[in-house]
């Protein structure tokens, strides 16, 4: 019984520990490399291993242009076509909508690479007055 309590306390100490950063203006970002987990503004963002690697690279560069050749090593598996550029494009296309709820986007820079961009988060979209009808 004592052994079991000792193991349980040890597991509690090794529980999820989030590291602060990378810094992103207007957002609180935390991450866990061990679990490949991102927390943006208190919300957990679920990522595949490749998405996590790509996002961390983009977040660390914060609004700077990243060339394709610095992002391609983040790909965890080889593309069936053997073309890392097409695999990178596919991953970015899937990743972009996951970032939109946080006011973030990934911009494509033609023939160069990508850049993480924080968009201006507006207040919740309200219905126009003409759409609100009395009951």
pLDDT digits (tens, 9 = 90+) for 80-129: 667 788 888 889 999 999 999 989 999 999 889 999 998 765 533 334 44
Say how far apart CA 131 and CA 55 lie, in whole Å: 39
- Higher-confidence residue of 78 and 45: namely 45
Report the pLDDT value the prediction gives residue 128, as an integer from 0 to 100.
Answer: 47
Which phi and psi (to 5°) does residue 75 adopt?
A: -70, 125
Angle at 42 between CA 37 and CA 48, to 5 degrees: 20
Residue 92's closest CA among 79, 77, 106, 81?
A: 106
Measured CA to CA, the distance from residue 114 to residue 85 in angstroms comes to 12
Report the alpha-carbon distance of residue 14 to residue 22 in Å, rounded.
22
Question: Does the pLDDT of residue 32 top 50, yes or no?
Answer: yes
Which residues on neighbouring strands pair with residue 112, listed in sequence order? none
The C-alpha angle with vertex 45 and arms to 22 and 27, in degrees rounded to 5, equals 40
pLDDT at 127: 42
Domain 17-119 adopts which CATH fold?
A: Arc Repressor Mutant, subunit A (1.10.10)
Quick check: 135 pLDDT over 50? no
């Amino acid at each position: 019984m004592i052994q079991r309590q000792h193991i349980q306390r040890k597991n509690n100490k090794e529980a999820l520990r989030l590291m602060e950063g990378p810094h992103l203006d207007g957002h609180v970002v935390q991450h866990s490399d061990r679990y490949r987990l991102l927390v943006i503004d208190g919300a957990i963002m679920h990522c595949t291993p490749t998405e996590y690697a790509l996002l961390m690279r983009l977040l660390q560069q914060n609004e700077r242009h990243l060339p394709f050749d610095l992002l391609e090593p983040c790909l965890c598996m080889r593309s069936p076509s053997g073309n890392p550029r097409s695999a990178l494009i596919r991953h970015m296309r899937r990743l972009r909508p996951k970032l939109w709820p946080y006011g973030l986007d990934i911009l494509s820079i033609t023939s160069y690479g990508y850049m993480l961009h924080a968009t201006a988060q507006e207040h919740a979209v309200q219905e126009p007055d003409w759409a609100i009808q009395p009951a």
